[in-house]
Structure 1
Amino acid sequence: MAFASAPQPSLAANDSAGNGRFTDYPAAMASCTLIFFMWGFLTSLNDVLIPHLKALFTLDYSQAMLVQFVFFGAYFLMSLPAGKLVERIGFKFGMVTGLLIAGIGAAMFWPAAQWRNYDLFLAAFFVLATGITVLQVAANPYVGLLGPERTASSRLTLAQTLNSFGTTLGPKLGGMVILGTILGADQLGKLSDAQLAAYHVQQAQLVQVPYLVLAALLVLLAVFVWWVRLPSRLGQVAADDGSHSLWDALRVPHVAYAVLAIFCYVGAEVSIGSFLISYLSQPEIGNISEAHAADYVAYYWGGAMLGRFVGTFLLARFNPRQLLALFAAIAGALVLTSMLSHHALAMYSIVAVGLFNSIMFPTIFALGIERLGPLTDKASSLLVMAIVGGAVIPKLQGMLADHIGIHPAFVLPVLCYAYIVFYGRRGSKIRELATSPK
């Protein structure tokens, strides 16, 4: 889930010879790939925590989806402050700060679990996501600057592949550690009050050690990034001269359409991942345990990793607008197939959506900032803020699931993909206004 960041650096300063060097700073590149892996791992763990917290606190779907509402809401609230912070302290110390903030957020899971307080869990998710937002703002452009412009896309592809590996590994390990002992409603009803209290204590403790270990790893990684001699600013882009506003960018038609497309894409992707464990464990779908269902969440995110490799090849040879529309149409058709079927077909069709999610974010983002000149930074900020779709769409789907059932509630991602088809075919086309922004 490697989202692009608001600052858009100029790479020209690092490409004096235009040669094929992969990177001029191997230590910095290694640090960045670890950072991309960590935030992918942490983000996909939400898909495991949601069913765990739903059972622990006896939540309905709408209440459980507050996890993603708070987590991705942080992107909307903190993207612009994070951009200003990184602009002030540089990429290197921006990454250090982001890692430390994320570490504090992960450490907050210990008292949240100890006191079994859902509100404190949500606060921990917000702090964790704030740290990841700072990391995104700092690390994405930093990777682009760590060598010649000619190999910038290769460096970003490698970093994003590590991010996808993190999103694939997170649900697998998280399911093994956290979801192995979740009891169903019938089993819970047979427990005495003392047994139920002991079960809740045990479930809370399952979260404490993994997130404390993650907090320690984040702090150690921050120390490593601080200790290693890394260039702090490189060719960091100069601050905006203040003559353009976010509204100037939003009034450009293909930017406005792209903002809604990012909102829909992230919302659909996160919503499917968030519901996958609960969905696959339904008797009429997979009839499997939550721990086993977590394996399929790993396959869902792993499909995005595989699709990124294939998509890189396809995007170099086919029209990106047409390819985006095709992938979105297939993703929507797969979700619809799952809605209209049961058992194996419903399972495999929904998991396969991950494969076709792969190219959507970078393609939408690239088309959204195309030919914008001085408005590029403002449009980038708007597109990052649109990641808030990952907060809104899962919450809305949770409300639908509570009223009409989890199976038909997947109509919401279908509508999201339908809009992305429109964006690829028509909404992404450059209008005359975009050629001469004021």
Structure 2
Amino acid sequence: MSTPKFTERKFIVTFIFVTSLFMLWGIAITMGDVLNKHFQNVLDVSKAQSGLVQFSIFGAYFVMGIPAGLFMKRFGYKNGVLLGLFLYAAGAFLFVPASNAESFLFFRVALFVLACGLATLETVAHPFVASLGDQRTSDQRINFAQSFNALGAVIGPLLGAHFIFGNTESVGLDSVKLLYIFIGLVIAMVAVSFFFVKVPPLVDPHAASAAAVEEGAVNVDLEPGKKLIQHRHFIWAAIAQFFNVAAQGGTWAFFINYGVEKMGFTDERSAHYFALSMVMMMAGRFAGTYLMKFIAPNKLLATFAACSILMCVIVAQSWGWPSFIALLMINFFFSIMFPTIFSLGLKNLGAHTQRASSFIVMGVVGGAVFPPLMGMLADKDVAHAYYLPIICYTVIFLFGYRLYRTK
């Protein structure tokens, strides 16, 4: 059996471009967590109400998951990416009238449109990256691409800290408006550039040679007669992804509040530490990509989930710096969860792969559910709110330990 390559030379340009998309939606997701705290300050909303920022963002994933998958199946990966970038830019430009109206509801509409673009990009990009080479190295490719998603997650809070919390000349919502005009213009330019990228033909797994199938080099349905819903590992992957993003959404939404209320930081300093936590996530993804050469992805997933449970317990105790360091470390252990759950859930689904990607992306709606719940606890004690993600990491541990199996 030949040693599988990470990718092939003909896919390099496409792989680089698609990997950059992971960074772009990482910026938008973590900017939402900065906006969460800013809206508390400027629009005088409670923590429970500000959690609706995440509801608007992750709720869009639930709404857009299936339409994005159908669009991708009908028009292909490239056009799916262009649709996602168009919606991303449109949502960013809607921040202009939302800022002028000073309306929390209008901001949520703008975030919803923008997040429909993010949902489309995620639905397309994961199977897109998985198809750019041997299936046996798809876990490595997706985790590598997600490492740049973590880079975007670092850039998001830094942009927010500088332009929103640190901009003394442009107060209130003016700084938000200017920042999102800039973001919208950048995304529009990326869309125009990608329009001219020539994507090489991708391998149809059902047209692959018998030798390639025997070596496991392509994605095939182990039992061709089975419906998608009959693949148990896919069902559990969608459930695990729901709880995974629920934990992410809640943990990130109140990170800045934790720094302000428990550590005595300013909003700007807490946002900088939030960016540092994203550096930890990026480091975790690069480390995870490397460790998967020696440790099975499911075992690494279960190990990191167990470590996340321990970190949440420490965070909830309000022990000062030890608890805050644990809060930073949650992102290191959280790092590999989204891409690894996604990759394990798509294994051996053959013709079901693109539809399965849509459903797993819909699991991201968990991020809409948890922040308002955590916000209700955080209004009383932000540290105690971090007991809730323990439920999520327990489900992820079980998926990595046993429920990932394809049979």
TM bucket normalised to smaller: 0.7 to 0.9
| Change beyond 3 A, Cα 1:19–1:115 | closer
Distance 1:370 1:90 in 2: 20
Counterpart of 2:171 in 1: which secondary structure?
helix
Residue 293 of structure 1 is aligned with which of 238, 245, 270? 270
CA contact (8 A) 1:90 1:232 kept: no
Matched with 2:251 is: 272
The answer as to whether partners of 2:69 and 2:355 remain within 8 angstroms in 1 is no
* Secondary structure at the counterpart of residue 73 of structure 2: helix
Residue type of the partner of 1:295? H
Q: Map 1:1-400 onto structure 2 (within 5 A).
A: 22-146=8-132, 155-180=141-166, 202-226=171-195, 228-231=196-199, 234-235=202-203, 248-250=227-229, 252-282=231-261, 285-372=262-349, 375-400=352-377
* 8 Å CA contact 1:266, 1:389 repeated in 2: yes
Which string of whole-angstrom CA distances, capped at 9 and with x for unpartnered residues, describes residues 247-285 of structure 1? 954455443333221111111012111110011111xx2
C-alpha spacing 1:236/1:213, structure 2 compared with 1 (3 Å): farther
Contact kept? 2:243, 2:392, Cα under 8 Å: yes
For residues 168 and 61 of structure 1, the distance between their equivalents in structure 2, rounded to whole angstroms, comes to 23
**Residues 346 and 251 from structure 1, CA distance in 2 versus in 1: closer, same or farther, beyond 3 angstroms?**
same
Helix, strand or coil: the match of 2:264? coil
- Cα deviation, residue 19, structure 1: 6.7
TM-aligned CA deviation for residue 399 of structure 1:
2.3
1-structure distance, mates of 2:360, 2:284 = 22
AA partner of residue 397 (structure 1): M
Aligned amino acid, residue 231 of structure 1: V
Instruction: Give the counterpart letter for 1:422 in structure 2.
Output: L
- Relative distance call for 1:74 and 1:373 in structure 2 (3 A) is same
Contact 1:264 1:420 in 2 (8 A): yes
Q: Indicate the larger mover: 360-369 or 344-353.
A: 360-369
Determine the C-alpha separation between the residues in 2 that align with 1:278 and 1:103: 29
In the aligned structure 2, how far is the partner of 1:144 from the partner of 1:376?
10
Distance in 2 between residues matched to 1:418 and 1:152, nearest whole Å: 25
Q: Which residue of 2 aligns with 1:428?
A: 404
Aligned AA (2:253):
S
Cα contact 1:53–1:64 (8 A) shared by 2 = yes
Amino acid paired to 2:287: V
Kept after mapping to 1: 8 A contact 2:144/2:285: no
Contact 1:40 1:164 in 2 (8 A): yes
Q: What are the Cα deviations for residues 120-141 of structure 1, in whole angstroms up to 9, with x where unaligned?
A: 1000001101111222233333
> Which amino acid counterpart does residue 288 of structure 1 have in structure 2?
F
Structure 1 residue 150: deviation in Å?
Answer: 7.5
- What is the SS of the residue equivalent to 1:392? helix
Closer, same or farther: CA 235–319 of 1 in aligned 2, 3 Å: closer
Q: Deviations over 1:62-120 (max 9, x none)?
A: 11011111111111110110111122222222222211111110001111111101111
Quote the Cα distance in structure 2 between the aligned partners of 1:151 and 1:367. 12
Q: Which runs of 5+ in 2 are unaligned?
A: 207-222
Letter of the 1:85 counterpart = F
Q: In terms of mean alpha carbon deviation, does 158-167 or 23-32 score higher?
A: 23-32
Task: Provide the aligned length of Structure 1 versus Structure 2.
Answer: 388
* Per-residue deviation, residues 153-188 of structure 1 (Å, max 9, x unmatched): 665444322221111111112111111369xxxxxx
The amino acid across from 2:191 in the alignment is: A
Residue in structure 1 matched with residue 212 of structure 2 by the alignment: none
CA contact (8 A) 1:92 1:230 kept: no
Q: Which residue number corresponds to residue 11 of structure 1? A: none
Q: RMSD across aligned C-alpha pairs, in angstroms? A: 2.8
- Distance in 2 separating the partners of 1:33 and 1:144: 11
Q: Shift of residue 294 of structure 1?
A: 0.7
SS in 2 for 1:318: coil
Please give the TM-score of this superposition, normalised by the length of structure 2: 0.86
Q: Distance in 1 between matches of 2:15 and 2:33?
A: 29
Q: For 2:294 and 2:109, how far apart are their aligned partners in 1? A: 45
1: CA distance, partners of 2:342 / 2:111: 26
SS at match of 1:366: helix
2:146, 2:339 within 8 Å by CA — same for their partners in 1?
Answer: no
- 1:408 equivalent to 2:384? Answer yes
Displacement after TM superposition at 1:337 (Å): 0.5
Q: Measure, in 2, the Cα distance between the counterparts of 1:206 and 1:85.
A: 35
Q: CA deviation at 1:315?
A: 2.4
CA distance in 2, matches of 1:303, 1:207: 26
- Is the radius of gyration larger for structure 1 or structure 2? 1
What residue identity is the alignment partner of 2:63?
A: L
Which letter does structure 2 place at the counterpart of 1:272? Answer: T
Which whole-Å CA distance do the structure 2 matches of 1:368 and 1:35 have between them?
Answer: 21
1:274-327 CA-partner distances (Å, limit 9, x unpaired) = 110011111xx2110010001111122221111111112222322433332221
Gap regions ≥5 residues in structure 1: 1-14, 183-198, 239-243
**Contact 2:150-2:282 at 8 Å conserved across structures:** yes
Against the structure 1 CA distance between its residues 43 and 355, is the aligned structure 2 distance closer, same or farther, given a 3 Å change threshold? same
Mapped partners of 1:412, 1:61: distance in 2: 16
Give the 3-state SS of the residue equivalent to 2:110 in structure 1.
helix
Structure 2 contact 150–278 (Cα < 8 Å) conserved: yes
Question: Is residue 144–residue 289 contact of structure 2 (8 Å, CA) maintained in 1?
Answer: no
- TM-score of the superposition, structure 1-length normalised? 0.81
1:208-266, Cα deviation, whole Å (9 max, x unpaired): 1110000011111111111x24127644678xxxxx9xx95445544333322111111
